[in-house]
A and B are shown apart, each in its own frame.
Chain A
Amino acid sequence: MNETSDFLLEVKNLKTHFFTDEGVAKAVDGVDFVIRRGETLGVIGESGCGKSVTALSVMQLIDSPPGKIVSGEILFEGEDLLKKTPTEIRKIRGNDISMIFQEPMTSLNPVFTIGNQIMENILLHQHTDKAEARKKAIGMLELVGIPSPDKRVDDYPHQLSGGMRQRAMIAMALSCHPKLLIADEPTTALDVTIQAQILELMKKIKTDIGMAVMMITHDLGVVAEVADNVVVAYGGKVVEYADVVSVFKDARHPYTRALYDSIPRVTDTQKRRLETISGMVPNPMELPEGCKFHNRCRYARPVCESEEPPLIDVGNAHLVRCFIYHETKSRFFDDIDGIETLRKKG
C-alpha cells in the first residue's frame, strides 16, 4: 500500500519562533504529524503549548515580524507550502485549506453582512457571478442550520448570537469545500449545548463533503467526540501521538495521564480529590533543558533534566516522548512506584 499518497497534510519538524526584544519564544519547536484524507486529527494541550501557532503556520498567517517559521516542511498534497509564493498560498487559503477561529464574536467583520463575507470567499475562489454566489451562500447557511437563511444572509454579525456567528463562520470556511479544515478551538467560547450542536454539525458536514479536520482544543471531551487520531502537545513539541482509542484508554506519557487525572468523571462514586498538575506551562521564552515536562513530572529522573527524549514507538504506531519507554534509558525508572501501570500494557 502506498501510504504517502494518503497523506493530505504532512508536517515535518516544524519550528516557528517569535523573535522579540525580550528574547526568542520557541512557540513551536519541532512538531511532526500527518493528516490523511478525511481524517480528523485532534490536537490537545494547555494554553501556550503551540497548538494555535502550529495551525497558523500551516495557513502561513504568522505575523512576521516577530514570528518566523525557522525550519521544517509543511507538505500539502505532497507540495511544500513553505516553498510557495504568497500568491500561490492565497489560492490555497480559504479554498483547499480553510480555518475557523476561537472567537466567533470578533472573527467576523462587523461592517459587512454575513452574506457578503461568505460570498467574498466564493467569488474569490470559484468562477461564479454574484447571483450564483449569493445562492451558494444561502445554501451554506442552510447547511449549517441557520433558520430562514434567505433572510439571515443580509444580517450583520451583531444581529446574530454567538452560536449563530460560529455557524456563519463555518459556512464561510466550508463555502469552497476545502480538503482540510483547521478548527482552532471552535467551541471554546460557546456554551455547552451550542458546543454539542456545533460539533455534531461539523461531524455531519465532514462526512458529507469528505474533508479532513485538524481540531485544536484544550477540551479532552471534544477530542474524544470527533477525533480519529490525537496529538498531545507540550512546550512546542508533540509528546504523545496515537489513535484516539489508544490515547484515551492507554495514555502513556506522564503529561497525558496527568491531564486525565485532572478531569472529574461521571463514574466517580466516592469523593475524590481532583489531581492537578503542579507548576506552570513553561514560558516559551525559557523552555527547560531536556524533557520540557520534567519540572512538573512526578516520574522525572536526572536524565530527563539533561537530555531530550525522542518520540518512541511503543507499538501500534503509538508514539510517546518519554524515557520510560526508552530501551536503554528506561533502567533509570525501575524503582519508581506506578511506573508499571504506565508501562505494563506495552
Chain B
Amino acid sequence: MFNYIVRRILQAIPILLVVLTLVFLVVRVLPGDPAVAALGDYASKDAVLALQERMGLNDPLWLQYVRFLGNLLTGDMGTSLVTGYSVGKQVVQALPYTLTLTISAILFGYIFGVPLGISAAVHRNSFIDYFNRIFSLVGLSVPAFYLGVLLMYFFSIRLRLFPVVGAGDPGDLGSLLHHLFLPALSLGLIMTAYVTRMTRSSLLEILREDYIRTAKSKGLAGRVVLYKHALRNALIPIVTLGGLYAVVLIGSSVMVEIVFSRPGLGKMMVGAIQQRDYTTLQSVMALYTVFVVVINLLTDLIYGLIDPRIKYD
C-alpha cells in the first residue's frame, strides 16, 4: 500500500513536467504581451522594451524555461510579472477559498446524491424516480456558472438571504460559511445530479446480480440486502466515476469563482490570463494539475478499500 502510494506520486512527476512544459509554451504563444498588458495600449515603445527587459522576457526561451523549473524545484513560484508580489504567497491566500468550495461541493454531491439515487433505484418508475431523473438531467445540462447566477438572483437579490459576491471576512467563520453557501450549492447541485444518476444506474444493475438473489434466499430482510449486499457493490463505480467528475467540477469551480467574485485560484488564473502574467499562470496551472493527480490517487485508494479484488502491489 505504502509502496503503491509512493509509486503513484513518482508517476505523477512526468505528468506534472509535461503539463508544466505545455503551459509554459502555451502562455507564450498567446497573443499579447505582459509588458503591453501592464502599461496599456498607448505606452511608448521604449517603456515597453524596458519593462520587457526587467521581466526577463527578452532572454532566450530555454533560459526562461530552466529558470522557471529551477525556481519551482526550490519551492519558489517566482514573482508576479504584474504585481511584483510573490506568487507563492498569493497562491497560499487563494488556495483555501478554492479547496473549501470544491470539497464542500463534492461532499454535498455525495451526501445528497447517493440517497436520492438509492430511492430512485428502489422505487423505479415511481414519482420519486421521475423527479430524480428530471433533476439529474437538468443538473447535468445547466452549466455551473449559469446556475450560480440564477441562485444569486433568487437567494441574494430577491430574498436577500445570502451575500451577492465576495468570500467573507477571513477572521469570521460564520461570515465565511455564509459566503461559501451559494457558490458551493451551484457546484454541489451539479455534483448531486451526477451522483444521483450514477447511483441509480449502478444500483439497478447490481440488484439484478446473482448474489443479490443468493442474499434474498438466505432470508435476509430487504434493507440488509439493499444496504449491505447491493450498496457496497454499487459504490465501486460511484466512487471511480465520481472521482472523474470531481475533476470536471474543478474546471467548473473556476467559473463559479468568477461569478461570485471569490478570491480563489480560479479567479487568480483568469486574471493572470487577461494580464498575460506568465509566472502566476504557470504556477496556478501546476497546482490544478496537482489537484487532478491527487483526486485520481484518492479515488484509486478508496476503490481499493471498497473492492477486495483490487490489489496494490
Contacts and interface: CB of A to CB of B under 8 A. Distances in A.
Given A108-B214, A109-B211, A91 B219 contact: yes
A94 B217 contact: yes
A266 interface: no
B218 A124 contact: yes
B220 A111 contact: no
A94 B218 contact: yes
B214 A109 contact: yes
Interface string A85-117: 000011111110011010100111111110000
B215 A93 contact: no
Contacts of A59: 217
Nearest to B217: A99
Contacts of B133: none
Nearest to B206: A109
Contacts of A172: 214, 218
A93 B218 CA distance: 5
Which of B214, B216, B229, B233 has the largest number of chain A CB atoms within 10 A?
B214
SS class of chain B's interface: helix, strand, loop or mixed? helix
Contact of A95 (B216, B219, B233, B307): B219
Contacts of B211: 106-110
Interface in B203-218: 209-211, 213-218
Contacts of B220: 90, 94, 120, 124
A93 to B, nearest CB: 4
A98 to B, nearest CB: 7
Given A101-B210, A158-B309, A109 B219 contact: no
A156 interface: yes
Interface in A48-102: 59, 61, 89-95, 98-99, 101
A107 B214 contact: yes
A256 interface: no
A91 B233 CA distance: 26
Nearest to A156: B308
Which of B211, B216, B306, B309 has the largest number of chain A CB atoms within 10 A?
B211
A98 B209 contact: no
Contacts of A103: 210
A187 interface: no
B311 to A, nearest CB: 10
Nearest to A155: B308
Nearest to A95: B219
Contacts of B213: 61, 101, 107
Contacts of A120: 218, 220
Interface string B109-134: 00000000000000000000000000
A172 B211 CA distance: 13
21 contacts: A61-B216, A91-B219, A92-B219, A93-B216, A94-B220, A98-B218, A106-B210, A107-B214, A108-B211, A109-B211, A109-B215, A109-B229, A110-B233, A111-B308, A112-B229, A113-B308, A124-B220, A125-B219, A156-B308, A156-B309, A158-B309
Interface of B: 209-211, 213-221, 229, 232-233, 306-309
